Amino acid sequence: MLYREAGDFKTTYRADQQTFPIKSERILFWAFIAFAFLIVPFFINDYWNKAVLMPLLIYSMAALGLNILVGYCGQVSLGTGGFMAVGAFACYKLMTAFPGMDMFSVVILSGFVTAAVGIIFGLPSLRIKGFYLAVATLAAQFFLVWVFNKFAWFYNYSASGQITAPERSIFGIAVTGPSTAPWATYLFALTILFVFGWIARNLTRGRLGRSWMAIRDMDIAAEIIGVSPLKAKLSAFAISSFYIGIAGAMFFANYLGAAEVGEAFGIDKSFLVLFMVIIGGLGSILGSFLGAAFLVLLPVLLKNLMVGYLGWATDLAAHIQIMLVGGLIVFFLIAEPHGLAQLWRITKEKLRIWPFPY
């Protein structure tokens, strides 16, 4: 009753192809966006910003990037942490070298730097496939972390080897550094995520996205019908790294404020983002957001429940949390290998004919 397509007539091809073809879905989407942009900033406090919203937005961005590579182009990558580190360090170098630059430009330029690095580490994908490629991307992960640890130029020769974000602003409002308002960083991250989420959605259904999917489904067949594997794979690596680099830059500059490369961008980050993509749904833009939301909210919820409510020790809660996350991943893969996005699709199908399914 609430969600139906009856009476929703399409008269043009354009209208038929839009992202949200059903009117009620469109209304719901814009209402949600309006809520996120216009209502949340007034009620946000520091805890919600730091513990829930910022990680959610930033990991969504990273998951979006990884989903382009793994979900749409079929190239498994375990180097996400390394690419996030590239974004973070590019951001740091740009911030310190050009103090006058506004934060949007810094973040987007860091994305471009990461894209260039991504292309370099994407080159082996032209020759090797599947698990072999996954292991090869681990080379990127370990190599990049080592580089940022070893060469002091990257962290401006600071004694601790840490990078610390100086205060930078947009339109005179500080979005990085210690004295930022929660709503400012939140809106900054949300704007970037919204814009690039929109771009990603449109990329994936255009010519480029279709060439990625052709490569994913069967690369030899795709090559025979004229899809260039070189262009498709390297563009997927570049764009995916671009997104991941932006996520890394925001993770460091807006969220952490100070970062140490081995700790903040280790191999566990790579796995975390990969889990988000898998749980959310491979090859789905919505899935990237759902996966990120699930894996960001679950630990917060569990921690509040076990430490706050039951009063257990934090290390005990941490062990149970790891166990549950692992168990849930297995559970999701068994119950619905196509992730949360598929569950949402099924729900929509059910809703369409509710309450008279026959």
Nearest residue (CB) to other proteins, 31 versus 218: 218
Nearest residue (CB) to other proteins, 173 versus 328: 328
Q: How many residues does the chain have?
A: 358
Query: What is the residue type of 73?
Result: C
- The radius of gyration of the chain's CA atoms, rounded to the nearest angstrom, is 21
Interface pick for other proteins out of 333, 346, 348, 354 (rule CB under 8 A): 333
Interface pick for other proteins out of 313, 314, 349, 350 (rule CB under 8 A): 313
Nearest residue (CB) to other proteins, 245 versus 283: 283
Residue 324 in the binding site for other proteins (CB under 8 A): yes
CB of 131 to other proteins, least distance (A): 5
Q: Give Dmax over CA atoms of the chain in angstroms.
A: 70
Interface pick for other proteins out of 15, 21, 326, 348 (rule CB under 8 A): 326
Residue 307 in the binding site for other proteins (CB under 8 A): no
Query: What is the residue type of 93?
Result: K
CA-wise closest residue to 201 among 77, 72, 97: 72
- Helix (H) / strand (E) element for 352: namely helix 339-353
Stretch that binds other proteins, among 84-92, 201-209, 293-301, 321-329 (CB under 8 A): 321-329
Stretch that binds other proteins, among 174-182, 186-194, 231-239, 328-336 (CB under 8 A): 328-336
192 vs 184: CA distance, rounded Å: 12
Give the x/- contact pattern for other proteins in 26-65, rule: CB under 8 A.
----------------------------------------
**Dihedral Cα 165, 167, 172, 175, nearest 10 deg:** 40
169: β partners: 174
Residue 263 in the binding site for other proteins (CB under 8 A): no
The number of residues that bind other proteins (CB under 8 A) is 48
Residue 302 in the binding site for other proteins (CB under 8 A): no
The 10 Å CB-count burial string (b at 16+, else e) for 40-76 is bbeebeeeebebbbbbbbbbbbbbbbbbbbbbbbbbb
Intra-chain end-to-end CA distance of the chain, in Å: 15
Which residues would be at the binding site for other proteins (CB under 8 A)?
Answer: 76, 124, 127-132, 134-136, 138-139, 142-143, 145-146, 149-150, 218, 220-221, 224, 267, 271, 274-275, 278, 310, 312-313, 315-316, 319-330, 333-334, 337
